[in-house]
Structure 1
Amino acid sequence: MKNLSTLLLLLVTVGELFGQSAAERMGTYLQLLTDAEQFSGSVLVARGDQVLFSKGFGEAAIEYGVPITPTTKFRIGSITKQFTAMAVMKLVEEGKIDLEAPIVDYLADYPEEIGKKVSIHHLLTHSSGIPSYTGMAEIMKHRGSMEEAPEDFIKNFWDKELEFKPGSEFKYNNSGYYLLGMIIEKVSGVPYDEYLKQNIFDPLGMKNSGFEHYRDVIPNMAEGYAAVGDYPEKAGNIVTDMAGAAGALYSTTEDLLRWHRALLEKKIVSEAAYEKIFTPFLNNYGFGWTIEERSGKTVYSHSGGIDGFRSMGILMPEEKLSVIVLANLESANSTRVAQDMAKMYLGEEVEMPKELEVVEVGPEILEKYAGTYNLFPGFDIEIEPNGDHLLIHPTNQNVSPVFPESETIFFSKIVNAKLEFVVNDEGVVNEVILHQNGSHPGKRIE
């Protein structure tokens, strides 16, 4: 990957690329992101059976210069939940699962006080109130070494108090989908990964998709990277079985297109089952999918994130449009990329990446910004000068550099984010604003 030490992404409209086809604009957009080390992955855009764009960018293994192609395999993270939900619905149609039944009916050892209150439907819709294990620091700090059988792993969260009355609120929850994977195994009599292979992957010809068990050696699998400092490094280790039916699958853009086509053609389960899958319950979430209306068009989508990888899939049923983005860089904004690909296809205006030089700022100004700033309860950013730039250390995240765009605004070369320092009339800095998916002010606390 090219190392751009003095450049940043600024946004300009796609009008500058007047005359290019949608596919050409997509390629230009993605190459600019790749050159700026903000993307590495595979992108596919299709309408029905017609592939409009399919190309790999960056490297599957930086150390060996292995290029990414449309057949490169990636961890897909939470896109896994779509397949878990489909497996559940298939078992519902076979009379083996009741959506309204309490989970203790299928997991006999689950604590009754909680298991009788939570239904299968609650797990599917992130409305169970069961704490998500990915929000528990004591579990996640061991994600690179925790090798426990599922029946032991769930004991880490099964006796925790419910966070709210089941069915009353939405809170994204990996524990719920992990439990669904166990329920699929109990009622089908086969392992979760084998059930998906027999009932989804093989029938659809998804030969490059599967469940990544820890220490599996998977041919043509991309390495996952995290942007540390100026250059990507291999992402931290994770026992992938720990993600289970919530996020342990891998696939390719080509295989996920086969999945999207099957959904459009309503294969695997009945039309009534599809109606339930794509009917939002709370927070626009159905069964493994977000369902929204944008510009009068229905949009199904879901993103994924797991150590070293980011993913996003968009399916627009009326347009028969599929957009699939798989990245092997943690800082890649796969959601933004997928949304912009869809906009380009639809002829909407899109902002394109462009390079801008860094400005020089004196050490006395950098020193003035050193300190700790609180943005949210439990989330601080520690800032210190480092040569001609600043180092920031957000709570529970890696240290990374930010560079001056002006005396008061600094940008990241790793993610699409900026920090703006607020200087009062006395020249004192007591506030910083994080510009990332909105503007988030933070007060200086030390």
Structure 2
Amino acid sequence: MKTKFFLVSLFITSVLCSQTVTSPEIEKLLTEIIGEKDPGLFIGVVKNGTVIYSGVRGLANLQHQVQANSASSSNVASVAKQFTALCILKLSLKNKLSLEDDIRKYFPKLYPNITDSIKIRHLLNHSSGIRDYADLMSLQQNPWWRQEGLDNDDVIELIEKQNDLNFPPGSEYLYSNTNYTLLTEIVAVASEVSFHDYSKQLFEELGMKNTQFLKNYMAVIPNQVLPYSDWGNGIWQQFPMITNLYGDGFLFTTLEDQLIFEKAIQNAEQTNNELLQKSQKEIPNSEITTYGFGLELTDRLNRKAVHHSGGTGSYHAQTIRFPEEKLSVFVMSSNSRIWSGSIADKIASKMVSSTNLKKKDDYLAQIPKIEAIDSNQLPGLYKTSKGKIVRIIEKEGVLYYQVDNNNPFKLIKEKTSYYAVEPLPSIKIVFTQNRGMVKFSLYRPGNEPRIHTKLPEVELQGHQLDAFVGQYQNEELNISFEITKEDNAIFISQKNYKRPQKVEILTPDDFLVSDYKLMIKRDIFNRVKEILLTTNRLKNVRFTKKTNLIFQPKINLKST
């Protein structure tokens, strides 16, 4: 499931007050966000181990006008990952498994050609390199949400056909729902009962009696909240949910149960609950420290936080915990017009104490002396040392920063060759020039500056474009695409495309088509032999050239 992303800089960059928000203020917020006859919104706040607010507004079922309440059961999407991780952690504490186990102990058919160890802890914090099944299915033009009855076994069968990873295990972080699908099977093998039975036992121990992972989308879930979207036309429609997936999401729970859990988390130290205490911390021995046991471990509102969001169809949810404040905010909804994350931030920003603000990094002190550069030299393509390409474009005298084909961000000039990024003014871009080479450095709080070097303009023509023409095949997914040439441009087409799409040539080895980034790989004779495709949660998916191979004699490299 793709986690929904909305810019909430309004809340992040606002001045945070130490005044505690009152129940009437949250009630007012509720009424401002949705109407009584809209799909429901659920909000809960726990402070110092006690529920200080629990509120619900809207309907659980529009067809029958059923009012939502704190016992209504909604889908929290990827917020569910923390509970799958709890099952793994519990088994680890009982010595039923080790987080250092290679997952091939449980999946002997996976990645036989990968010699690096893929550990359970790599699955937990999305550093395994295993590709996201949802994006793989989208690449096949068979989206997961269209597949009636799709279940975890289908996902595992798809992954068993994969030969490559996005990257070596432990070397990077890239969110992938597949990780948590695989974890459910590990739970079943290690516990010797089904994942549903083991997780049900966990929920009962936690006092969450009305929480359960999906088994069958047709099954009756008592007091179920239905999901609704209006797709921009103002007319509510029920969002179809026809799959049987679980573990990476699809947890149905109530506001009552989630507040029970938040209280247990806050009181874990007093109750000496080792499981819950460890679940909120980094994974031992992990190379990645920004994500733990199904939870993000990054700052929020400039404070230490433990949090996670989720979105599946019209369902969405957000959990935010501020451990130093002993404050938790939980929001969930089945209403696609709103977003739980921004609502949770708005509530939390009024409740956190001003005394726990983290000291801001003096990251701007790293900026060198700024020199004037002819602004006409700034637009163009820039590349990082890791191969990421971005562009600086100019429109009507204004500069914009753009990644791939995403919406560009306006650059606000603050000084000579010094810009802030709108709407995130804490991000600065500084242009420099040395011996005619233009670069820019991107500065962000808490991060090392990222240097981008301007690329020379390139224009490929004639026989140079002929080298790319042909059909390219990916055996793992059993899909192919074709590149053709017309009027000194190349186009890409795939089955079910309405029409071929024009390829944007960034460099002789880097192409862009919609949200697909294509990297050209050549043989020792400089012939195009394959294309590596990157998009969203997939990296370097290999497509081998099958047709229009230009013959060149092989050279005997052995010395005579």
Q: Mark yes or no: TM-score above 0.5.
A: yes
- Say if 1:423 and 1:104 are closer, same or farther in 2 by CA, change over 3 A: closer
Shift of 1:284: 1.6
1:235 aligns with 2:239: yes
**Aligned equivalent of 2:400:** none
The Cα shift of 1:121 comes to 1.0
In 2, distance between residues paired with 1:94 and 1:152?
A: 30
Matches for 1:206-245 after TM superposition, within 5 Å: 206-213=208-215, 214-228=217-231, 229-239=233-243, 241-242=244-245, 244-245=246-247
Q: Hey, what does 1:173 align to over in structure 2?
A: 176
Offset at residue 57 of structure 1 (A) = 1.5
| Greater relative CO, 1 or 2 (CA 8 Å, sep 6+) | 1
CA–CA separation in structure 1 for the residues paired with 2:64 and 2:204: 32
Deviations 1:90-114 (A, max 9, x none): 1111212111221011223334224
Cα shift at 1:190? 0.9
> Aligned pair in 2 of structure 1 residues 331, 132: CA closer, same or farther (>3 Å)?
farther
Counterparts of 2:345 and 2:252 in 1: how far apart (Å)? 22
CA distance in 1, matches of 2:70, 2:276: 31
**In structure 1, distance between residues paired with 2:33 and 2:90:** 40
Please name the residue that 1:344 is paired with: 350
- Residues in 1 aligned to 2:178 and 2:187: alpha-carbon distance in whole angstroms: 14
* TM-fit CA distance, 1:23: 1.9
1:256-290 Cα offsets, whole Å, 9 max, x none, are: 12222222333262755654459985372112111
1:49 Cα offset (Å): 3.6
- 1:319 deviates by 1.7
Distance of 1:438 and 1:226 partners within structure 2? 30
Cα offset, 1:424, TM superposition: 5.3
Provide closer, same or farther for how the CA distance between residues 140 and 185 of structure 1 changes in structure 2, counting only shifts above 3 A: farther
2 CA distance for matches of 1:157 and 1:37? 43
Are residue 259 (structure 1) and residue 265 (structure 2) matched? no
Q: Which amino acid in the other structure matches residue 295 of structure 2?
A: W
Residues 59 and 67, structure 1, Cα contact 8 Å, conserved in 2? yes
SS in 2 for 1:345: coil
> Could you tell me how far 1:178 is from its partner in structure 2?
0.3
Alpha-carbon distance in structure 2 between the residues aligned to 1:179 and 1:72 = 29
Q: After the TM superposition, which of the residue ranges 275-284 and 73-82 deviates more from structure 2?
A: 275-284
Residues in 1 aligned to 2:128 and 2:158: alpha-carbon distance in whole angstroms: 17
Alignment partner, residue 130 of structure 1: 130
Point out where structure 2 has 5 or more consecutive residues left out of the alignment: 1-9, 355-393, 398-404, 411-420, 425-503, 505-512, 514-560
- 2:235 is matched by which residue type in structure 1? Y
Q: SS state of the match for residue 291, structure 1?
A: coil
In 2, the alpha carbon distance for the partners of 1:56 and 1:290 equals: 26
In 2, are the aligned partners of 1:38 and 1:331 still within 8 Å (CA)? Answer: no
Does residue 286 (structure 1) correspond to residue 265 (structure 2)? The answer is: no
Paired residues of 2:38 and 2:59 also in contact (CA < 8 A): no
Q: Name the amino acid aligned to 1:178.
A: T
Residue 163 of structure 1 aligns to a residue in which SS?
A: coil
Counterpart of 1:395? none
Q: Retained in 1: the 8 A contact 2:127–2:173?
A: yes
Which stretch has the larger CA shift, 335-344 or 260-269?
Answer: 260-269
Is contact 1:292–1:298 with CA below 8 Å preserved after alignment?
yes
Match of residue 192 from structure 1 = 195
CA contact (8 A) 2:20 2:351 kept: no
**Contact 1:170–1:283 (CA under 8 A) maintained in structure 2:** no
> Does structure 1 residue 330 correspond to structure 2 residue 336?
yes
Instruction: Spell out the pairing of 1:96-111 with structure 2 (5 A cutoff).
Output: 96-111=96-111
Please name the residue that 1:3 is paired with: none
- What is the rounded CA distance, in whole Å, between the counterparts of 2:196 and 2:89 in structure 1? 16
**Kept after mapping to 1: 8 A contact 2:329/2:344:** yes
Distance 1:285 1:37, change over 3 A: farther
Equivalent position of 2:310 in the other structure: 304
- CA distance, structure 2, for counterparts of residue 143 and residue 193 of structure 1: 21
Change (3 A) 1:220 1:115: farther
Question: In 2, distance between residues paired with 1:340 and 1:259?
Answer: 22
Distance 1:283 1:24 in 2: 38
Counterpart contact for 1:102–1:115, Cα < 8 Å: no
- 1:28 and 2:28 correspond: yes
Higher-helix-fraction structure = 1
Partners of 1:40 and 1:57 within 8 A in 2: yes
* Shift, 1:37, TM fit: 9.4
Q: What secondary structure does 1:330 align onto?
A: coil
1:397-432 deviation digits (Å, cap 9, x = unpaired): xxxxxxxxxxxxxxxxxxxxxxxxx9959xxxxx99
| One-letter amino acid of the counterpart of residue 242, structure 2 | I
Match of 1:204 in 2: 206
CA distance in 1, matches of 2:343, 2:165: 36
5 Å matches for 1:400-415?
Answer: none
Deviations 1:162-208 (A, max 9, x none): 1111111111010011000011001111111110111x211121011
Distance, in Å, in 1 between the alignment partners of 2:296 and 2:98 is: 22
Change (3 A) 1:66 1:216: same
Distance 1:113 1:123 in 2: 18
- Corresponding residue pairs, total: 349
Q: What residue in structure 2 maps to residue 366 of structure 1?
A: none
RMSD of equivalent CA atoms: 3.6
**Pair member with larger Rg:** 2
Q: Distance in 2 between matches of 1:39 and 1:297?
A: 32
1:388 alignment partner in structure 2:
none
Task: Report the equivalent of 2:112.
Answer: 112
Structure 1: state its 5+ residue gaps: 1-10, 349-421, 426-430
Give a deviation string over 1:308-328, Cα, whole Å, max 9, x none.
200001112222211110100
Query: Distance in 2 between the 1:270 and 1:66 partners?
Result: 35
Judge conservation of contact 2:77–2:317 (CA < 8 Å) in 1: yes
Structure 1 residue aligned with 2:165: 162
Match of residue 145 from structure 2: 143
CA deviations on 1:357-395 (whole Å, 9 max, x unpaired) are xxxxxxxxxxxxxxxxxxxxxxxxxxxxxxxxxxxxxxx
| Equivalent position of 1:56 in the other structure | 56
